[in-house]
Amino acid sequence: MKRAFTLIELLVVIAIIAILAAILFPVFAQAKLAAKKTADLSNIKQIGTALAIYLNDSDDLYPAMVSDNVTAGINQHPLWSSTDVLGPYTKNTQIFLSPTESSANVAIPAGSLPSGASTAPPRSYMANGLQDSYIQTNATTLFGPDWTGSASGGVFGYWYDDGSGTVVTQASRSQTALDNPSEMIVLSSGAEDWSKYANTSYKPNTEILVNSAPDLYSGLDVLSLATGRPNGSGDVNSTLQRAWNHFANGSNFAFGDTSAKFLKPGSLMSGNYLNPRRWLANPGE
């Protein structure tokens, strides 16, 4: 007499498989995310190393976040990550793209790239080019009413046309002039355009900046990105919150001493305000 599984036995086996799948699938997803986190950390570390080599060749001065491309015209400015700046030190555009983001190229105006190409690869990392003037205006909002440090900003300088024909400049800083290179963030995750996190239709960072600077060049609103709240107050904005919560509620950062490590946004704060030692070249007290 042949024996066969009863319906109850089959249902029990199916239920066990379903339970195991429910337990294991999240584990697999976490393992995949951990692998992407490691790859992302490797990317930002390599960029930091390339930056250190650039500094060695440039009298220890950081590059400009954006700078005038005379041959292309006043309204096309190569970014710090372009083939005109860090490109010779990286030889690889893929390290500027996080494994969490799309690799689709971005269409840009014809002739805007130095190479004359019509597309440019997206970028996933921001340079700390906090403007001195922005710090002077917003210091108490960013660092608290009791902060009495200097009003110096980030390390990357810039040269750009603000859209009205006015040229805005700030000199880059020297690596040797940093008060706290091992603590100060030089590069972070996040495309250099506020609209990536404020709107659904964002414009990834490309090789050049056309016509005017994104809002982040004016302030790199790190308080918003660190808290997930616009200007550090109000309700959490989910798109802002994702900026520095790529991996297990945190993100990877590169520092002035060329080190790179994972930090949660809370590590960037001092109470309800930003920790100036993370963001300012000369934070003072």
Task: State the Rg of the chain over Cα.
Answer: 22
pLDDT digits (tens, 9 = 90+) for 46-75: 999 999 999 999 889 998 877 655 444 445
Give the type of residue at 187.
L
pLDDT digits (tens, 9 = 90+) for 120-149: 667 788 888 888 877 888 888 888 888 887
Find out whether 231 and 221 touch, Cβ atoms under 8 Å: yes
2 falls within a domain: no
The mean of the pLDDT values for the chain is 77
pLDDT digits (tens, 9 = 90+) for 231-256: 777 788 777 777 788 888 899 999 99
- pLDDT attached to residue 104: 67
User: Of 268, 273, 169, nearest to 213 (Cα)?
Assistant: 169
* Rounded Cα gap, residues 15 and 20, in angstroms: 9
Alpha carbons within 13 A on the beta-carbon side of 81: 29
* DSSP states along 196-251: HHHSSS---B-SEEESS--HHHHHTTHHHHHHSSGGG-SSPPHHHHHHT-TBTTBE
Q: Provide the domain limits for residue 203.
A: 7-279
Q: How confident is the model at residue 215 (pLDDT cuts 50, 70, 90)?
A: very low
Q: How confident is the model at residue 39 (pLDDT cuts 50, 70, 90)?
A: very high
1 falls within a domain: no
Residue 40 CA: distances (Å) to CA of 27, 72, 226, 257 = 20, 32, 19, 19
Please tell me which residue, 236 or 209, carries the higher pLDDT value. Answer: 236
Question: Is the pLDDT assigned to residue 179 strictly greater than 60?
Answer: yes
Q: How confident is the model at residue 43 (pLDDT cuts 50, 70, 90)?
A: very high
Give the type of residue at 95.
I
Question: Is the pLDDT assigned to residue 282 strictly greater than 50?
Answer: yes
- pLDDT attached to residue 213: 43
Find out whether 168 and 160 touch, Cβ atoms under 8 Å: yes
Lowest-pLDDT choice from 13-27, 152-166, 243-257: 152-166
pLDDT digits (tens, 9 = 90+) for 92-125: 888 888 888 767 666 665 555 555 556 666 778 8
- pLDDT attached to residue 68: 59
Please tell me which residue, 279 or 213, carries the higher pLDDT value. Answer: 279
- pLDDT attached to residue 188: 87
Please tell me which residue, 201 or 232, carries the higher pLDDT value. Answer: 232
Task: Give the max Cα distance, the chain.
Answer: 93
pTM of the model: 0.79
Please tell me which residue, 78 or 279, carries the higher pLDDT value. Answer: 279
Question: Is the pLDDT assigned to residue 283 strictly greater than 90?
Answer: no
222 falls within a domain: yes
Residues 6+ apart with CB under 8 A from 208: 69, 72, 76, 77, 78, 79, 82, 108, 112, 113, 114, 120
Q: How confident is the model at residue 214 (pLDDT cuts 50, 70, 90)?
A: very low
72 falls within a domain: yes
* Rounded Cα gap, residues 46 and 31, in angstroms: 23
Question: Is the pLDDT assigned to residue 275 strictly greater than 50?
Answer: yes
116 falls within a domain: yes
SS3 113: coil
284 falls within a domain: no
285 falls within a domain: no
- pLDDT attached to residue 1: 57
242 falls within a domain: yes
User: Of 142, 128, 125, nearest to 246 (Cα)?
Assistant: 125
Give the type of residue at 169.
T
What is the number of domains present in the chain? 1
Beta bridge partners of 160: 168
- pLDDT attached to residue 106: 64
**What is the percentage of the chain residues whose pLDDT exceeds 90?**
16
61 phi, psi to nearest 5 deg? -95, 130
Residue 259 tokens read as 């080190």
